[in-house]
Amino acid sequence: MFNKSVLGFLLTVCITYTSALYFHIGETERKCFIEEIPDETMVVGKYKVELFDRQQNMYVPTRGGLGMHVEIRDPDDSMIISRVQVFDMNIGDFVHTAPGPLGMHVQIRDPKGSTIMSRTYAAEGRFTFTSHSAGEHVICLHSNSSAWFGGGQLRVHLDIQVGEHANDYQQIAAKDKLTELQLRVRQLLDQVEQITKEQNYQRYREERFRQTSESTNQRVLWWSIGQTVILLLTGFWQMKHLKSFFEAKKLV
């Protein structure tokens, strides 16, 4: 009993403190976000889903298996998501769990439109992936709600951090035994690395842009030539055909 009340209190505390950006979707709806990132860049996404409770007239944490399906696609059609973790209240850490009854489906697509990750997770969770190829990665979320849940409203808290923002520096400092100053250098290094990657990706994108422009140029050129040829040929054929027709009819 005491346990439950404490849990309830803590849950409310937790809700008031988790204040990432949120939005609403229908229970069967699906929302996608696009992340254009260089290669070898880490992306960390955290989400939490709440269900609208008509009796309490507020959004409450979903219990009993409302989860989210996460789908991630990268530009090379390869699976990039290696693992998805879910926060376990009993253990107090992110652990791998089997999808509960109401979860979240997260789908991530790469620039070529292939799915790199597609899995269903619990109502609150975290997904990380490192991009193998540069380009547009599509992250899609929808709940694993079944049809009879139907018209409910979901509130989805979402926080996506890319690049050096995805790093947990407290963890890094503890693991590599860095002093404060060393950690600052490390942070700066990560930032510079991110800039380098972005700059490199910029080169690739500029190339792609130029290829598109050159292709347009070629198409316009060949089409103008092609059209002139078509016009000449059809005009010639028209004249020839009509001439023989008139001659056959003895009109000329």
Per-residue binder mask for another protein (CB under 8 A), 23-42, x = binder: xx------xxxxxx------
**Could you tell me which stretch among 64-72, 83-91, 108-116, 141-149 binds another protein (CB under 8 A)?**
83-91
Report the site for another protein in 40-69 (rule: CB under 8 A).
none
**Could you tell me which stretch among 71-79, 103-111, 113-121, 177-185 binds another protein (CB under 8 A)?**
177-185
Does 82 contact another protein by CB under 8 A? Answer: no
Rounded to an integer, what distance in angstroms lies between the CA atom of residue 33 and that of residue 106? 11
109-127 burial by CB neighbour count: b if 16+ within 10 A, else e? Answer: bbbeeebbbbbbbbbbbbb
Rounded to an integer, what distance in angstroms lies between the CA atom of residue 63 and that of residue 11? 12
Does 146 contact another protein by CB under 8 A? Answer: no
- Cβ proximity to another protein: between 58 and 192 the closer is 192
Among 8, 58, 199, 247, binds another protein (CB under 8 A): 199
Among 58, 95, 232, 242, binds another protein (CB under 8 A): 242
**Could you tell me which stretch among 98-106, 115-123, 145-153, 235-243 binds another protein (CB under 8 A)?**
235-243
Residue 24 makes CB contacts below 8 A (sequence gap 6+) with 153, 154, 155, 156
Does 161 contact another protein by CB under 8 A? Answer: yes
- Cβ proximity to another protein: between 146 and 223 the closer is 223
Q: Minimal distance in Å, beta carbon 11 to another protein?
A: 9
Residue 124 makes CB contacts below 8 A (sequence gap 6+) with 47, 48, 49, 61, 86, 87
Question: How many Å separate Cα 75 from the centre of its chain?
Answer: 11
Q: Minimal distance in Å, beta carbon 88 to another protein?
A: 9
Q: Minimal distance in Å, beta carbon 113 to another protein?
A: 14
Rounded to an integer, what distance in angstroms lies between the CA atom of residue 164 and that of residue 179? 19
